[in-house]
Structure 1
């Protein structure tokens, strides 16, 4: 897109923003004129105000990037970042949406992404300057009077002829909500300003690992001591596996006490391996001792995973236990990468790039997983499920609950006994049994739509009486 003073040309030609004689000393962070911001504020009000976020966030993000002049492969980057939001709006998916917008504008270079983040505070401050948004009436009327006037005439005619357009364009402004709505508009204007500014300059990232006062002698002695401590732990785990638990200790207690501390130990082991890597050439014993250290920590992580499995068998699934299992797998893979790095002599930058890709890839995949449904299905299949925890999982668990009740109708009275639960009536005591509502197309999400359909299908299978209207339809 052609720019003038760091702004899209259509903005300066519309008579908004600084003119040619008002060039900024830092044009790359010059915020845009008011026309683009006003258009995005109006669009944001229509898509987001007083509605649950959903598909509307993806549309709004695309509009921001379109006005910023995005083209080419940047749209592919944005699409990948927006897919988790299409599935479900949650903090993780919102993070990927924001990252997709930043990388789409800045490009795949981490330096340009860092430059964008560094320029955000300045862009916000400049966006508050009233002189940046002043209107030049002559230029504006010359270019926009006829198009806007004609559009208003056509809209007025369509407003009378088409009830759908009349409904879409009806603007219901509640004066009681006006102050909050003004704050909402101002928030949208501030949020979109950095994206509409000129592309940021690249920043060269500098990564320096802390030295922690290490030297070849201290690393050698630390590896000897640490390996001996882990060897004692491994012998202890082996004795428990062979001879059983100490008297008075259950498997659940043993698993709970060991799973998370062992995971923390393995994480510290990976950090120490990175810090010790530069000293391997100083002593011939450092390399084999570091390999032994990494191998023992991989075994330690597997031992923690086995403890967690025992704990889950005793008490069922929970968000914390699922997350712990995922992180244990990540830690084991990361330690495996560390071991391969030492064997092949790769630098720490090689290791950090791959662990970062492994972590981000795992988070991206997790954004598409309905953990609430998995946890509910697993726990309801147990002989004595924790109904209190299941009913607190949220609406995304309703599909799994409906399926389990359809297959095992006795679960309905069990839930009713604890929660005054009438399965799938209009008043439900178990919050997680209520399917998600989608009242407007702006709120649509793939996961909510799928869960609502699953509940509806299982309601038809149950044949529990007269047809009950699904509130998600």
Structure 2
């Protein structure tokens, strides 16, 4: 038998329960050492991988070496964005990776990757109901059993010796002044700091999250009644019958054609707009409503083109759906162009970057819907592919230094540097954090006498230098910025 096929991490139920208790206790202590009262940084990456290793050690079923290594690699890759800088997107990706590791250790991962998003959804939906289940009741029953063996049994065996030892020590202190003086000299103030309410709350939160990962569960599927399913199917056939779909698609394609021709003329063709309206106003008023329109169109297509429905069997309806999806994709591209025109006139913000990414994701999702119809795939395949695209987009956004990108764009397109656009918004650059310092340095090269920019730059520099020097708070983004600042200071000298 090869090493890759050798089963590992196999344990009996009782020993596995004790192992989970010990791993939970050790991880809570490790979290206190790494995370409590510390700035987030490298400590999040280290703790996430420690949790992944602990989950594999407490595996419910025997795992082969290759599967255990794959799950550990999944947790490692998912936590890499936390090295760049702690962000909500990076934490979300890391939690998704740890959820996959937990499901894999519990033997709950599906064999087909297309079912993974629904399994993760069932895992998340099961979380609110877990505290109200009978797990705590079973633990209390185990504690009451005199035949129970393991960690709890040994801990209970220490109650009597420690109680009598404390009593004897108090008697000895009363009888021996040396012992009394030694006991009085012991400083126990650190225990008060250790047992602060914030610290205990932190322990409880970490223990609650870890207990969910150590004992994964999935929300049970509800069986649909056959009669209810027949009613739903009949309603869908009535609302989305062949005639209704054909008429809807003809009307929708005509309406979208008008909007598409207007965009082709004014956005892509550069035609002159009516008096009193600029291209920026035309772009800004249409970007976000058109995205809602595309989303509603996607929902309509998914409902109308369900497998085996009236729309799926008609060649004419399928052709009109293909044409409508193509117009929706062009609509998304027009929305991106609208946003680009608006940003060129005004400035770039994090919300506008998020809007551009969202528009691109909607266009890709519509393309996936078209592929699903052409390839005759299931909605499960569509959800899995769309979820994978969304996860990769979040991963890239968590790694990229978006504040630095925004600062460089706004400085380069400001009225002071380019002669066009709007005046540089220093308050917004200050809100972006120390990542904006290189862009401000570029500004000061062209206009070194601007005192307001230098004041903002000095404030951001103090914020960067005020970071904790502890290795647990280290981030690659901050270290990279420190290296750039040291290099610029050496060149200046």
CA distance in 1, matches of 2:248, 2:77: 44
User: What is the deviation of 1:140?
Assistant: 7.0
Residue 347 of structure 2 is aligned to residue 309 of structure 1: no
Deviation digits for residues 334-373 of structure 1 (CA, Å, limit 9, x no counterpart): 2222233333333333333222222221111111111100
Deviation digits for residues 249-286 of structure 1 (CA, Å, limit 9, x no counterpart): 12221111011112221222222222221333443320
Residue 87 of structure 2 is aligned to residue 79 of structure 1: no
Contact 2:126 2:219 in 1 (8 A): no
Structure 2 CA distance for partners of 1:298 and 1:118, relative to 1, 3 Å = closer
CA distance in 1, matches of 2:414, 2:440: 15
Contact 1:124 1:193 in 2 (8 A): no
User: What is the deviation of 1:82?
Assistant: 0.8
What residue is the counterpart of 1:25 in the other structure? none
Structure 2 CA distance for partners of 1:118 and 1:347, relative to 1, 3 Å = closer
Deviation digits for residues 108-137 of structure 1 (CA, Å, limit 9, x no counterpart): 423664564455456545776784788323
What residue is the counterpart of 2:305 in the other structure? 277
Choose the corresponding residue for 1:325, options 356, 362, 366: 356
What residue is the counterpart of 1:42 in the other structure? 29
User: What is the deviation of 1:83?
Assistant: 0.9
RMSD value, Cα: 3.5
Matches within 5 A, 1:115-126: 116-117=123-124, 120-121=127-128, 124=131
Q: Which runs of 5+ in 2 are unaligned?
A: 1-8, 58-67, 111-115, 144-150, 163-187, 416-423
CA distance in 2, matches of 1:326, 1:174: 49
User: What is the deviation of 1:91?
Assistant: 1.0
Choose the corresponding residue for 2:90, options 93, 118, 121: 93
Structure 2 CA distance for partners of 1:91 and 1:285, relative to 1, 3 Å = same
CA distance in 2, matches of 1:68, 1:304: 45
Choose the corresponding residue for 1:250, options 278, 282, 287: 278
What residue is the counterpart of 2:154 in the other structure? 137
Deviation digits for residues 185-243 of structure 1 (CA, Å, limit 9, x no counterpart): 2222222112223x546967999999864222222111111111111112323443454
CA distance in 2, matches of 1:259, 1:252: 11
What residue is the counterpart of 1:455 in the other structure? 485
What residue is the counterpart of 1:17 in the other structure? none
Contact 1:317 1:375 in 2 (8 A): yes
Matches within 5 A, 1:28-67: 32-33=20-21, 35-67=22-54
CA distance in 1, matches of 2:206, 2:407: 37
- Superposition TM-score, scaled by structure 1 size: 0.75
Structure 2 CA distance for partners of 1:138 and 1:461, relative to 1, 3 Å = closer
CA distance in 2, matches of 1:356, 1:42: 35
Deviation digits for residues 362-418 of structure 1 (CA, Å, limit 9, x no counterpart): 11111111110000011111242222221211233334434x2463352752425xx
Residue 211 of structure 2 is aligned to residue 193 of structure 1: yes
Structure 2 CA distance for partners of 1:255 and 1:7, relative to 1, 3 Å = farther
- Flag the structure with more relative contact order, 1 or 2, with Cα contacts below 8 A and sequence separation at least 6: 2
CA distance in 2, matches of 1:305, 1:315: 15
Length, aligned pairs only = 405
CA distance in 1, matches of 2:473, 2:222: 39
> Is the radius of gyration larger for structure 1 or structure 2?
2
Contact 1:406 1:459 in 2 (8 A): no
User: What is the deviation of 1:291?
Assistant: 1.2
Tell me whether 121-130 or 43-52 shows the greater mean CA deviation. 121-130
- Superposition TM-score, scaled by structure 2 size: 0.72
Matches within 5 A, 1:104-253: 104-107=101-104, 108-109=109-110, 110=116, 113=120, 116-117=123-124, 120-121=127-128, 124=131, 131=140, 135-137=152-154, 172=190, 175=193, 178-197=196-215, 200=217, 213-240=239-266, 241=269, 243-253=271-281
Structure 2 CA distance for partners of 1:140 and 1:334, relative to 1, 3 Å = same
Deviation digits for residues 297-339 of structure 1 (CA, Å, limit 9, x no counterpart): 1221222122111111101211122112222222222222223
